[in-house]
Amino acid sequence: MRILALCLLVVLSACGQGTEAPPQRTTADRLAAPPDAAYGQRLAQICRTCHEVAQGTGHRVGPNLWGVVGAPAAHHADFAYSAAMKRSGLVWNEESLDAYLANPQGFVPGNRMAYPGMPNEADRRDVIAYLETLSGPEEGAAP
């Protein structure tokens, strides 16, 4: 029995040999590479606490994010935006989204988004790349 246990121990200890964890990419490495929309989608899971992302679905606490890139701020007629957001005059592009995601209250003082901000520039860039994928033909448009 001891020999069997010893053999099992040797076999199991060899299972982890030669498997190194992939190197962690630094923020500088990530910024040097193209934005990663798939990683941005994972990061954006926190956004889904308050926002819908699918075309044609309603709103949650925050407005639906489908088609947000390129749209004017406060563009959903059926969502109760803050007065600050309505007055902002913003168009959501890479620069405005980056500034807003970094510090929502600092960029549009008085808006109602409770999220404190995403400090990592590479994370914001990846989330914006994901948001850019949330667009397509208008509902009911001919293919």
Residue 2 pLDDT > 60: no
Assigned CATH class of 35-133: mainly alpha
* Cα angle for residues 133, 137, 140 (degrees, 5° grid): 140
| Cα-based distances in Å from 139 to 53, 63, 65, 66, 67 | 14, 17, 15, 12, 12
- List pLDDT tens digits, range 37-77: 999 999 999 999 999 999 999 999 999 999 999 999 999 99
Domain ranges of the chain: 35-133
- List pLDDT tens digits, range 90-138: 999 999 999 999 999 999 999 999 999 999 999 999 999 999 999 976 5
Q: Taking the model in full, what pTM does it have?
A: 0.77
Distance CA 120, CA 60 (A): 26
Distance CA 65, CA 14 (A): 48
Q: Give the per-residue pLDDT at 66.
A: 97
